[in-house]
Amino acid sequence: MGIGNARAKSALGGPSGRVRDSALHGWAGATPAIERCSAAPRVGRHAGLPAFPGTTRPLTCGARVARGGGASAVMARRLVHGLLAVCTTALCAASEPGTSQLIARADSALARRDFAGAVQLYAQAFSADPASYDAAWKLARACNDAGEAASRARERRALFARAQSASASAIRLNPDGAWGHFHRGLALGRAAMDTSIGERMRVAKEVRVEFERAVALDSTIVDGWDALGHWHRTMATLGWFERSFCDAFLGGVPKDAGVSTAAACFERAVALEPQSLDHHLQLGMTREMLGNKDAARREYQRVLDLPGAGAVDERKKSEAKKRLSGLR
């Protein structure tokens, strides 16, 4: 080997393959910033990682940052660690579903009546994006549905309390959003059903305010009209004890609460969803209470004529048939 080749090999660090760059380290013979390992391609858990600048090796042991080497070596190590952190964060973010995806999956779960799954997915969506109005009110809706289906009072209370919290968040995020107000009223009313008569009467006015606010903001919310119809009919048909309690402690039953107002609310619900068996049944029952038997018969017959789907609709048809027979 000639002198020139020997010097060239010495400059490259000799047989060990160590890089000795005086421009990088400032001193000839300083500890190198990078040690090259095997040239074999990286697979498995290293696949897809970015290469170190100027090489085809991933940022793993294939381009290891050695300890020591002065300020430039420290900077090189920081560069490698920074790039690894950015890469890891990006890969993790890409693998996690976004808020809209979580909400879509929760919507599907709710349609299947998988209430527990829907609550979990909506909660994840709201946790991922606490500014999402849709995630908040839909979480409240799922909790209300799950609470209505629950058999134990303790479980119902917990779910309705969670629905109140989620709906309050929705109202805070969007005060003019109708669904937040509707589901808060629903959660308050349903939670009160497991309490004393006094508590139910106390909450009743607040429930009405939320329902009326919902239909005022969006008159196409059929659930709001249906809920208002039930509210007016219930308050108008309170027994003596409930009325006495309201008179003594709550300033009496609201004077505009009446069966006629309930009928008007159910009429709005029927107009919005004419194929709903329940809306026709509720309107028929309310008109029967008003003494309008012909109108009640028409609604009951409509329930029998409309196509049904599932056991719930069959029960409504059975109820309509029984009531229709009683009017003849």
DSSP string for 156-178: HHHHHHHHHHHHHHHHHH-TT-H
52 by DSSP, 3-state: which? coil
pLDDT, residue 89, reads: 57
For residues 203 and 210, the answer to whether their CB atoms sit within 8 Å is: no
Structure tokens, 310: 């599932």
Segments making up each domain of the chain, as ranges:
99-194
DSSP 110-142: HHTT-HHHHHHHHHHHHHH-TT-HHHHHHHHHH
Angle between helix axes 240-249 and 197-217 (nearest 10 degrees) is 80
For residues 140 and 184, the answer to whether their CB atoms sit within 8 Å is: yes
Structure tokens, 180: 């937040």
**Maximum Cα–Cα distance for the chain, whole Å?**
121
DSSP β-ladder status, 34-36 and 63-65: antiparallel
CATH fold label, 99-194: 1.25.40
pLDDT, residue 168, reads: 98
pLDDT, residue 200, reads: 85
pLDDT, residue 86, reads: 64
The span from the CA of 139 to the CA of 228, in Å, is: 22
Beta bridge pairs of residue 36: 63
What string of pLDDT tens digits covers the 328 residues of the chain? 444 444 444 444 444 444 444 333 333 344 444 344 444 444 444 454 454 444 555 544 444 444 455 667 667 667 767 776 665 555 444 445 799 999 999 999 999 999 999 999 999 999 999 999 999 999 999 999 999 999 999 999 999 999 999 999 999 999 999 999 999 999 999 999 888 888 888 899 999 999 999 999 999 999 999 999 999 999 998 888 888 877 776 677 777 789 999 999 999 999 999 999 999 999 999 999 999 999 999 999 999 999 988 888 999 999 999 999 998 7
pLDDT, residue 16, reads: 43
Structure tokens, 196: 């004393």
